[in-house]
């Protein structure tokens, strides 16, 4: 065994693996050059007074804590942060996770043709580019649109409940992804375990809560993290629908960062707001790793393939 | 399982959910065929003029541009990604776990934050065109692709590689003939993810692609909204045409992998 | 910055290698001077086809006149903010900076402050058309005593009203409102006598950005008792003044009484185009509108085509609040042409600019994009007047009354705050003008600093 592994070059705990690093090199080059470097530069710009156009467009300099001081005292920023929290809870946490789980569960028990149709529809909604999805939802929720017709034709759901519509639109556009992740997780639960629970005369709901959910913990958390990151990163959908409005009612942080950088020309401050988003993503990633740690320690054998 | 549980309730509920998903798309279908299209949902005055309008040369050209962009992005993320994922899965990489988490959180970095520095660099090198933009988008999808493919490769039984080693296969042959075929579902997921990301990308080509003859689908649709004279029917028709290739891709692949392929290995991460 | 030095070095090496390799070829083929020009390809002209027609025409005309030069067109798709953003990015590097660019008037100050533009005074001294520009239009591009950009077309605002509906409601035709109250009186009469139509269109809210202000409440502010936006003496931004209160008061009254359009129309991303179709389908009685309306209703532009427009839609200048001098109110803004400070083809860039300012090209641009030409003599030309009678004539007449917006970047913040105030007043009937002013004060002082605002 050992010699075969050695001949495969899997390396050992002591020696670093030259071939491994070589294989990883193209990815590292791409990530560093086109990802880390620009992000690092953006972090630097966040601490300067650079403007999009204006006296500091070409002649700008490092301003130390100035932008951070501004951030801490910026009411609009704190409101935006709140809106972002509401938005993420509404769309990622509640919306996508619940709808995705509902889809995955229902699809498991439904007839084959309906399963294919539902899957295809959810996937199409996910695959539609944000520009098209934004148009669809704008038409859907504005006066005269489909949703509006249900409430008497003249109701303007979009302008009167903008955050709700924006959350719904993001749920609609991301649930397909969630459905796929959670379906795979559900499939990984062995039938024997479920049978054993049913044998104990547990009701369907009890089986779900006490058997399925705990076994799905890893999948659910993974899905939640991914969906949160995806929704946070894809603000084009929200931007095209409302541009943060009406009157800053949906001014979530990515949109506020864009507004500061490109509308008010405060490119430096806008970059700092974008940096806050990176920090938020890091926090989520860290929490995810912490939440999974006990599970990792307990895992002994390699996982069953789905 | 000796008995099939009754399907009525799941079917009914799923049907409701499906209809809820379909409802917003209704406007798209109707407006694209409506001579007097507007934001409102209304029974159309039937016409195929909108579809005729948006299958003109320059629109089809923008579809082709989008395809080139997405293809370049997919290749850029999958090819380095596969070998990189193999390394992360099988080889001794220092700080591997930390690297994986970093890679994961890179997934969440908003592209907008990088767009100015990248524009400046690309402008310096004269790379403000479709293919370099595709490479950039590929690099953006690389973190998630690495993650997906690594967990897929994790699921390849080591015995298979050991068997190949007995047959005196080189590393390259092992990767090509053993690892890749078995982890195809994960690789396909990564490819699809990169493709869709690039296909739908809006802000990146808007900033990085200078030449209007290289405009991609989202830019064209956006132009239709931003124009002084908004043509809703054309927008709806073009949105449909623009979404078709990706839907076709999904249907073909889901048939090939019986619908259960996507994210298959990922969740065991 | 060290990072870019490496890029510069690499590029220089590559460039010199390429040059050495290409020398023999260059000696044979005499390369033409390339002049690049950047412009909005979808937003500026009334239709994309007309935009292409005008620009391709310029290119053809220029290349025929100067056979040793070539025009490189850089069209910028998208809307107004996209044009500004793309231009901002293009100017960042001399290799991408357009030799000539079509710049929006409100942003001229910032482009100039960035150091991107070339002073044009020495060239303008030789231009025959420059003297015909009214002083106010000439100063549009003047910063620190030098001229950096010249107008290629202006927009201003007027009132449009449906004469048939007016007669039906017992209102005088032709209509000559002298005060803002006259407007409200007419709108109320329409609401009472003609149900099912929108009495008055006035743009509010943030969806249309700066343009919404220029085509909407900005006109009212300019006709109020105190139109000051930025105090010329202190440089501070006015967040509370008699003028602002009069303007916001009008907005509140109008929307409280249900004289305006629905929120979904007002907050739509394409709000500014809505009154055009509402008027053409007789669903709107009065509109605070823009000079491009008349052109849009012609067959050539057709957005939408309203052949009866000249008989049904009257046009009259917007009055000042109490009819005080000068009696007419309008905003002023449009598009200008500038030459890049880093241009390598100064002479040809100027020749291209000069060509674009010629009468026929300017009148075509005016007709196809809904402008009033900057050159006063062009505005009297029959080709312009007769393109959309009687509208173009009146648009030209109110041009001298226009007031430009402040040139500083901070104006965007002030503008956003006022847009929010108008939008909130329209959406929330129980909000008072005091509350709206307080919110505006809060927002501007939060964004720009408490010592940058003032009350008058």
Minimum mean pLDDT range among A127-136, B222-231, C371-380:
B222-231
- Kindly determine whether residue B13 and residue A124, on different chains, have CB atoms separated by under 8 Å: no
Average pLDDT, stretch C249-266? 92
How far B205 CA sits from the closest chain C CA (Å)? 12
Are C104 and C124 part of one and the same domain? Answer: yes
Cβ-based contacts of A76 with chain C (< 8 Å): 443, 446-447
- Classify residue B196 by burial, with Cβ atoms within 10 Å: 0-12, 13-18, 19+: buried
pLDDT of A11 above 60? no
Distance CA C175, CA C183 (A): 10
Instruction: Report whether pLDDT(C16) > 70.
Output: no
Average pLDDT of span A3-22: 59
Tell me the pLDDT band of B232, cut-offs 50, 70 and 90. confident
Strand order in the sheet with C284-290: C198-201, C284-290, C157-162, C313-316
Q: Which of A129, C59, C130 is nearest to B196 (CA)?
A: A129
Residue A153: pLDDT band by 50, 70, 90 thresholds?
low
Question: Which has the minimum average pLDDT: A158-162, C249-253, C345-349?
Answer: A158-162
Residues C93, C59 share a domain: yes
Confidence at residue C11, expressed as pLDDT on a 0 to 100 scale:
52
In this prediction, residue A217 carries a pLDDT of: 85
Are B91 and B159 in contact by the 8 Å Cβ rule? The answer is: no
- The token duo for C201 is 């269109």
| Mean pLDDT within A245-252 | 86
CA dihedral defined by A74, A80, A86, A89, rounded to 10 degrees?
A: -100
Question: Residue A146 sits in which domain range?
Answer: 67-298
Determine the pLDDT at residue A148. Answer: 77
C449 in reach of chain A (CB within 8 A): no
Q: A 121-140 residues with CB below 8 A of C?
A: none
**Do C327 and C428 share a structural domain?**
yes
**Is any Cβ of chain B less than 8 angstroms from the Cβ of C92?**
yes
Verify that C211 and C326 share a domain, yes or no. yes
* Interface contact B10-A106, CB threshold 8 A: yes
DSSP B227-255: SSS--HHHHHHHHHHHHHHHHHHHHHHHH
Give contacts of C424 with chain A, Cβ < 8 Å: 247
Is residue C225 domain-shared with residue C307, that is, in the same domain?
Answer: yes
Residue keyed to tokens 């590292």: A28
**What is the Cα–Cα distance from C193 to C189, expressed in whole angstroms?**
6
- Work out the percent of chain C whose per-residue pLDDT is above 90: 68
C-alpha to C-alpha distance for A4 and A7, rounded to whole angstroms = 5
C253 and chain B in contact, CB less than 8 A = no
Q: What is the mean pLDDT of chain B?
A: 80
Verify that C277 and C355 share a domain, yes or no: no
Residue A208 lies in a domain: yes
* Cβ contact, residue pair A20, B91, below 8 Å: yes
**How many domains are contained in chain C?**
2
Question: B123 vs C93: CB contact, 8 Å cut-off?
Answer: yes
Contact B225 C8 (CB under 8 A): no
Q: Which of residues 198-237 of A touch B (CB under 8 A)?
A: 218-219, 222-223, 225-226, 228-230, 232-233, 235-236
- Residue A105 Cα distances to A176, A203, B20, B250, angstroms: 13, 16, 17, 21
Same domain for C184 and C280, yes or no, is yes
- CA A241 to chain centroid: 19
Range of the domain at C137: 33-154+332-395
Looking at beta carbons, which residues of chain C come within 8 Å of A80?
none
Candidates B206, B207, B225; nearest CB to C269:
B225
- Length of chain C equals 456
The predicted structure's pLDDT at residue C30: 58
Q: Is the pLDDT of residue B256 over 80?
A: no
Minimal C-alpha gap between A126 and chain C (Å): 24
CATH of the domain at A265: 1.10.3720.10
Most confident of A30-44, B176-190, C211-225: C211-225
From the list B92, B110, B114, which residue is nearest A17 (CB)? Answer: B92
Name the 3-class secondary structure at B1: coil
Contact assessment for residue B260 and residue A187, using Cβ atoms and an 8 Å cutoff: yes
Answer whether B218 sits within 8 Å of A131, measured CB to CB: yes
The pLDDT mean for chain C works out to: 89
Residues of chain A in contact with residue C427, where contact means CB-CB under 8 angstroms, are: 159, 246-247
Within 8 A of A143 by CB-CB distance, chain B residues are 39-40
Q: Closest residue of C to B218, CA-based?
A: C78
Q: Which residue of B has its CA nearest to C208?
A: B226
Query: What is the spatial distance between Cα B173 and Cα B186, in angstroms, rounded to a whole number?
Result: 19
Residue C29: the pLDDT is 47
pLDDT at C408 over 50: yes
Higher pLDDT, B115 or C263: C263
Count residue pairs from B and C with Cβ separation < 8 A.
72
pLDDT digits (tens, 9 = 90+) for B110-166: 777 777 778 878 877 888 889 999 999 999 889 888 888 888 888 788 888 888 888
A287 close to B (CB below 8 A): no
Q: Quick check: A264 contacting C, CB < 8 Å?
A: yes
CA distance A231 to chain B (A): 9
Query: Of the given ranges (A98-102, C342-346, C361-365, C432-436), which has the lowest mean pLDDT?
Result: A98-102
Q: Of A182-191, C113-122, C210-219, where does mean pLDDT reach its minimum?
A: A182-191
Q: Could you tell me which residue, A209 or C307, shows the higher pLDDT?
A: C307
Q: Which of C111, C209, C268 sits opposite A53 (nearest CB)?
A: C111
Chains in contact with C, where contact means 3 or more Cβ–Cβ distances below 8 Å, are A, B
> Helix crossing, A37-45 with B115-125: angle to 10°?
120
pLDDT band, very low/low/confident/very high, at C215 (cuts 50, 70, 90): very high
Partner-chain residue, chosen from C11, C45, C269, that has the shortest CB–CB distance to B124: C11
Per-residue confidence (pLDDT) for residue C155, from 0 to 100: 93
Residues of B in contact with C42 (CB under 8 A): 223, 226-228
Confidence of residue A222 (pLDDT cuts 50, 70, 90): confident
In whole angstroms, how far apart are CA B4 and each of A102, A187, A188, B162, C188?
20, 17, 20, 42, 69
ipTM: 0.80
Interchain pair C8, B124: CB under 8 A:
yes
Lowest mean pLDDT among A3-12, A257-266, B192-201, C315-324: A3-12
Question: Is the residue at C122 inside a domain?
Answer: yes
In which band, very low, low, confident or very high, does the pLDDT at B228 lie, cut at 50, 70 and 90?
low
pLDDT of res. B108: 66
User: Is pLDDT at A33 greater than 50 in this prediction?
Assistant: yes
| Interface residue A243 vs chain C (CB under 8 A) | yes
C358-C331-C441 Cα angle (round to 5): 140
A146–B24: do the CB atoms touch at under 8 Å? yes
Same domain, C147 and C173: no
Q: pLDDT grade, residue C366 (50/70/90)?
A: very high
Q: What is the pLDDT of residue C101?
A: 96
Q: State the Rg of chain B over Cα.
A: 22
Place of tokens 């791409």: A30
Measured between beta carbons, which residues in chain C are less than 8 angstroms from residue B128? Answer: 96
Interface of A with B in 125-144 (CB under 8 A): 125-132, 135-140, 142-144
Which residue is closest to A159 within chain C, CA to CA? C264
In a domain, A36, yes or no: no
In this model, does residue C133 exceed pLDDT 60? Answer: yes
Residue A293 has pLDDT above 50, yes or no: yes
* H or E element at residue A241: helix A236-242
A150 vs B22, higher pLDDT: B22
In the numeric block, which tokens belong to residue A252? 């979530």
Q: Do C78 and B219 touch (CB under 8 A)?
A: yes
C78 touches chain B (CB under 8 A): yes
Q: Is the pLDDT of residue C1 over 50?
A: no
Average pLDDT on A165-188 reads 86
Mutate to test the interface with C, among B112, B120, B207, B227 (most CBs of C within 10 A): B227
* Structure confidence by residue, pLDDT tens digits, A253-270: 989 988 898 889 898 998
**pTM for the predicted model, two decimal places:** 0.84
Does residue C12 lie in a domain region? no
Same domain, C418 and C433: yes
Predicted pLDDT at A16: 60
Burial of B51 (C-beta count, 10 Å sphere; 0-12/13-18/19+): middle
Residues A216, B267 contacting (CB under 8 angstroms): no
- Rounded Cα–Cα distance for residues C200 and C187 (Å): 6
β-strand partners of C200: C286
Q: What is the pLDDT of residue C275?
A: 93
CA–CA separation, A166 vs B130, rounded Å? Answer: 31
Cβ–Cβ of A131/B200 closer than 8 Å? yes
C107, C264, C414, C441: best mutation site toward chain A, by most A Cβ within 10 Å? C264
pLDDT at A42 > cutoff 90: no
CB B208 within 8 A of CB B132: yes
CATH class for the domain made up of B50-268: mainly alpha
From chain C residues 89-108, the ones with a CB under 8 A of any chain A CB are: 91-92, 107
Contact C201, C289 (CB under 8 A): yes
Contact C92 A58 (CB under 8 A): yes
Is A37 part of any domain? no
C17 lies in some domain: no
CB contact under 8 A, B223 and C42: yes
Distance from CA of A262 to the nearest CA of C (A): 7
Q: How many domains in chain A?
A: 1
Q: Which two tokens stand for residue C384?
A: 């312009």
- Locate the chain B residue with the closest alpha carbon to A165: B24
Could you write out the DSSP letters of every residue in A166-181? HHHHHHHHHHHHHHHH
Proportion of chain C in helix, strand, coil states, percent, rounded to 5? 50, 15, 35
Domain ranges of chain B: 50-268
Confidence category of residue B255, pLDDT binned at 50, 70, 90:
low
Asked if residue A288 belongs to a domain, the reply is: yes
Q: Is residue A58 part of a domain?
A: no
pLDDT band for A55, please (50, 70, 90 cuts): confident
How does pLDDT run across C306-359, given as a tens digit for each residue? 999 999 999 999 999 999 989 999 999 899 999 999 999 999 999 999 999 999
User: With bands split at pLDDT 50, 70 and 90, how would you rate the model's confidence at B226?
Assistant: low
Q: Are residues C231 and C124 in the same domain?
A: no
Residues of C in contact with A74 (CB under 8 A): 446-447
Is the CB of residue C43 less than 8 Å away from at least one CB of chain B? yes
CA A167 to chain centre: 13
| Chain C residues inside the 8 Å CB shell of B212 | 41, 75, 77
Question: Given C371, C395, C419, which residue is the final one in a domain?
Answer: C395
Among A230-239, B107-116, C35-44, the range of highest mean pLDDT: C35-44
Q: How confident is the model at residue C2 (pLDDT cuts 50, 70, 90)?
A: very low
Quick check: C447 and A54 CB within 8 A? no
User: Which CATH number goes with the domain that contains C51?
Assistant: 3.40.190.10
A213 part of a folded domain: yes
Whether the per-residue pLDDT at C283 is higher than 90: the answer is yes
What local confidence, expressed as pLDDT, does residue A294 receive?
64
Cβ–Cβ gap A123/B139 under 8 Å: no
| Neighboring chain B residues of C1 at a CB cutoff of 8 Å | none
Q: Report the pLDDT value the prediction gives residue B188, as an integer from 0 to 100.
A: 82
Residue C140 has pLDDT above 70, yes or no: yes
Contacts of B125 in chain C (CB under 8 A): 7, 10-11
């Amino acid at each position: 065994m050992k010699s075969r592994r050695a001949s495969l070059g899997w390396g050992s705990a002591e020696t670093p693996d030259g071939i491994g690093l070589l294989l990883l090199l193209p990815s590292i080059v791409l990530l560093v050059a086109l990802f880390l470097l620009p992000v690092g530069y953006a972090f630097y710009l966040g601490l300067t007074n650079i403007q999009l156009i204006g006296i500091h467009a070409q002649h700008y300099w490092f301003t130390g804590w100035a932008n951070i001081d501004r951030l801490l005292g910026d009411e609009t920023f704190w409101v935006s942060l709140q809106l972002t929290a509401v938005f993420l809870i509404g769309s990622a946490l509640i919306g996508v996770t619940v709808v995705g789980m509902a889809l995955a569960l229902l699809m498991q028990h439904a007839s084959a043709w309906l399963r294919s149709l539902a899957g295809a529809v959810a996937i199409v909604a996910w695959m539609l580019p944000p520009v098209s999805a934004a148009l669809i939802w704008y038409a859907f929720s504005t006066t005269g649109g489909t949703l509006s017709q249900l409430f008497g034709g003249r109701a303007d759901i979009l302008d009167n409940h903008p955050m709700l519509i924006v959350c719904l639109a993001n749920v609609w556009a991301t649930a397909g992804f969630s459905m796929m992740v959670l379906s795979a997780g559900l499939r990984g639960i062995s039938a024997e375990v479920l049978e054993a629970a049913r044998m104990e005369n547990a009701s369907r709901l009890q089986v779900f809560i006490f058997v399925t959910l705990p076994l799905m913990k890893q999948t659910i958390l993974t899905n939640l993290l991914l969906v949160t990151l995806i929704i946070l990163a894809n603000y084009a959908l929200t931007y095209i629908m409302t541009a943060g409005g009406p009157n800053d009612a949906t001014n979530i942080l990515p949109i506020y960062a864009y507004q500061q950088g490109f509308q008010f020309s405060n490119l430096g401050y806008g970059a700092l707001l974008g940096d806050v988003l990176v920090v938020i993503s890091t926090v989520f990633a860290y929490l995810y790793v912490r939440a999974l740690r006990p599970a990792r320690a307990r895992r002994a054998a390699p996982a069953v393939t789905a | 399982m000796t008995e099939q549980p009754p399907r009525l309730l799941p079917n009914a509920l799923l049907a409701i959910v499906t209809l809820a998903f379909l409802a917003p798309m209704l406007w798209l279908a109707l407006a694209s065929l409506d001579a007097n299209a507007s934001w409102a949902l209304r029974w159309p005055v039937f016409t195929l003029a909108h579809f005729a309008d948006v299958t003109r040369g320059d629109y089809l050209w923008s579809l082709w541009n989008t395809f080139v962009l997405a293809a370049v992005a997919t290749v850029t993320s999958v090819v380095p990604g596969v070998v990189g994922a193999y390394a992360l899965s099988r080889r001794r990489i220092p700080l591997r776990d930390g690297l994986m988490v970093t890679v994961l959180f890179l997934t969440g970095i908003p592209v907008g934050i990088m767009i100015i520095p990248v524009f400046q660099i690309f402008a310096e090198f004269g790379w403000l065109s479709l293919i370099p933009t595709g490479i950039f988008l590929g690099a953006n999808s690389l973190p998630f692709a690495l993650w997906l493919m690594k967990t897929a490769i994790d699921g390849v039984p080591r015995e298979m590689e050991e068997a190949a080693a007995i047959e005196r296969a080189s590393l390259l042959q092992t990767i090509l003939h053993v690892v890749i075929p078995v982890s195809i579902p994960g690789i396909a997921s990564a490819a699809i993810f990169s493709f869709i990301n690039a296909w739908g990308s809006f802000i990146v080509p808007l900033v990085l692609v200078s030449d209007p003859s290289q405009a991609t689908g989202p830019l064209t649709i956006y132009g239709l909204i931003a124009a002084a004279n908004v043509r809703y029917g054309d927008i709806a028709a073009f949105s449909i045409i623009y979404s078709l290739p990706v839907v076709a891709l999904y249907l073909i692949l889901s048939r090939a992998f019986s619908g259960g392929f996507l994210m298959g290995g990922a969740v065991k991460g | 910055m060290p990072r870019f030095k490496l890029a510069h070095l690499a590029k220089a090496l590559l460039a010199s290698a390429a040059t050495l390799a290409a020398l023999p070829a260059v000696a044979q083929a005499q390369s033409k001077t390339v002049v690049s020009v950047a412009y909005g390809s979808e937003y500026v002209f009334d239709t994309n086809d007309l935009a292409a027609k005008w620009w391709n025409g310029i290119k053809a005309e220029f290349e025929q006149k100067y056979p040793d030069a070539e025009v490189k067109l850089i069209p910028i798709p998208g809307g107004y903010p996209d044009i500004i953003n793309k231009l901002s990015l293009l100017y960042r590097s001399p290799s991408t900076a357009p030799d000539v660019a079509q710049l929006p008037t409100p942003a001229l100050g910032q482009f100039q402050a960035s150091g991107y533009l070339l002073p044009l005074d020495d060239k303008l001294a030789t231009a025959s058309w420059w003297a015909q520009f009214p002083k106010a239009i000439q100063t549009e591009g003047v910063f620190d005593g030098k001229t950096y950009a010249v107008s290629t077309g202006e927009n201003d605002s007027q009132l449009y009203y449906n004469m048939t509906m007016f007669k039906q409601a017992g209102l005088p035709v032709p209509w000559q409102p002298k005060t803002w109250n006259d407007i409200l009186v007419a709108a109320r009469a329409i609401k009472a006598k003609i149900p099912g139509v929108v009495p008055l269109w006035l743009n509010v809210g943030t969806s249309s950005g700066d343009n919404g202000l220029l085509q909407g409440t900005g006109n009212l502010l300019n006709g109020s008792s105190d139109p000051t936006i930025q105090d010329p003496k202190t440089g501070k931004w006015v967040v509370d003044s008699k003028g602002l209160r009069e303007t916001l008061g009008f907005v509140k009254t109008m929307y409280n009484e249900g004289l305006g359009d629905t929120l979904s129309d007002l907050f739509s991303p394409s709000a500014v185009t809505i009154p055009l179709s509402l008027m053409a389908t007789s669903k709107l009685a009065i509109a605070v509108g823009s000079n491009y309306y008349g052109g849009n209703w012609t067959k050539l532009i057709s957005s939408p085509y309203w052949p009866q427009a000249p008989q049904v839609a009257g046009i009259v200048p917007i009055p000042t609040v109490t009819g005080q001098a000068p009696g007419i109110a309008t905003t002023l803004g449009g598009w200008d042409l500038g030459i890049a400070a880093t241009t390598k083809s100064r002479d040809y860039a100027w020749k291209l600019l000069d060509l674009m300012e010629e009468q026929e090209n300017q009148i075509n641009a005016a007709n196809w994009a809904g402008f009033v030409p900057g050159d006063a003599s062009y505005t009297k030309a029959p080709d312009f007047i007769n393109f959309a009678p009687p509208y173009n004539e009146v648009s030209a007449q109110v041009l001298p009354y226009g007031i430009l917006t402040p040139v500083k970047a901070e104006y965007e913040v002030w503008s956003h705050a006022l847009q929010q105030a108008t939008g909130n007043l329209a959406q929330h009937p129980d909000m008072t003008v005091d509350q709206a002013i307080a919110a505006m004060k809060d927002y501007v002082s939060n964004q720009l600093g408490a010592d940058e605002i003032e009350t008058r």
